[in-house]
Amino acid sequence: MSERLRLYSYWRSGAAYRVRIGLNIKGLPYEIVPVNLLRDGGEQHTDEYRAANPQGMVPVLQHGHRMLRQSMAILEYLDEMWLQPALLPVIARDRQRVRALAQMVACDMHPLNNLRVMRYFENTWHVPQTERDGWIRHWIVEGFTALEAMLVDNPSTGPYCDGSMPTLADCCLIPQVYNARRFGVDLAAFPLIERIEQACLALPEFDAARPELQPDAPEN
C-alpha cells in the first residue's frame, strides 16, 4: 500500500469504531486523526472539518488524496480494495444476509441514538437526561430483539454473525453492544449477541479497536 490511510475518528463514535475494526481485520496500518465531538460545541462543525465532510460527521477515511465518507461505504471500499480477509461472504445470498444484519444496526438502530439526535432532544425540545437515556435503551432493545431472532433462526450463524470468520455484520454489532452496555441495557435476553460479542472481543483486531484504547480517549 503506497498511499497512507488516515482515519478521522472520535473514540466513542460507533461509526468510527466499526471502521477501526474493519481496518484492523484487513491488517491495514492507519493514523488516527482525533475529532472531538464535544469540545467547543464539536470540532466536526468547524470549517476545516466540513471541508473534509460537509455532513460534519465522523468517520472520514483519507486514502491518499481521496476523502471517503459514510462508515458502511468505507467498509465496503476496504473490502473491494483489499480482498482478504473478506468482510463479505462469497455467495450472494450470504452477502445479502450479512448486509441485512449490518444495516439493522447501522441504518435502523444507531441513527436514532447518535449524538446529534440527543443534542436536538436536549437543546430544542429540552428532553431530560433520564428520558433521553430511556429513548436510547428502547431502540437498542427493539433492534436487538429482532437481531437476536434472526441470528438464532439461521444455520449460517456460527461463532460470529455469519460463519467462522467475522464479517461486516460483526463490525457493526460490536460497537452497538458497547453502546448498549454504556446506557445500561440488560443484555440477558440476548445470549447469542453476548456470545458473539465475547468471540469478537477475544480477537486482537476487535480488542485494539475498543473505544477506551484509542489515543483520544480521556484517560489517554
Which pLDDT band holds residue 219 (cuts at 50, 70, 90)? confident
What does the alpha-carbon distance between residue 22 and residue 54 come to, in Å, rounded to a whole number?
Answer: 23
Distances (CA, A) of 143 to 78, 93, 96, 188, 191: 26, 22, 18, 15, 14
What does the alpha-carbon distance between residue 125 and residue 47 come to, in Å, rounded to a whole number?
Answer: 27
Domains in the chain (CATH in brackets) are 5-85 (3.40.30.10), 92-206 (1.20.1050.10)
What does the alpha-carbon distance between residue 130 and residue 2 come to, in Å, rounded to a whole number?
Answer: 49
**pLDDT(17) > 60:** yes
The verdict on pTM exceeding 0.85 is yes
Under the phi-then-psi rule, with left for phi > 0, alpha for psi from -120 to 50, and beta for the rest, what region is 188? alpha
Axis crossing angle, helix 129-152 with helix 168-182, rounded to the nearest 10: 140
**pLDDT(145) > 70:** yes
What does the alpha-carbon distance between residue 56 and residue 172 come to, in Å, rounded to a whole number?
Answer: 21
pLDDT in tens, 108-134: 999 999 999 999 999 999 999 999 999
What does the alpha-carbon distance between residue 112 and residue 141 come to, in Å, rounded to a whole number?
Answer: 12
The CB density around residue 52, as the number of other CB atoms within 10 Å, is: 19
Task: Specify whether the CB–CB gap between 10 and 36 falls below 8 A.
Answer: yes
Average pLDDT over residues 47-76: 97
> Which ranges constitute the DSSP H helices of 55-190?
71-81, 92-103, 115-123, 129-152, 168-182
Helix (H) or strand (E) holding 19: helix 14-26
What does the alpha-carbon distance between residue 40 and residue 45 come to, in Å, rounded to a whole number?
Answer: 10
pLDDT in tens, 159-204: 999 999 999 999 999 999 999 999 999 999 999 999 999 999 999 9
Distances (CA, A) of 79 to 19, 57, 121, 160, 189: 11, 22, 36, 18, 33
The CB density around residue 64, as the number of other CB atoms within 10 Å, is: 11
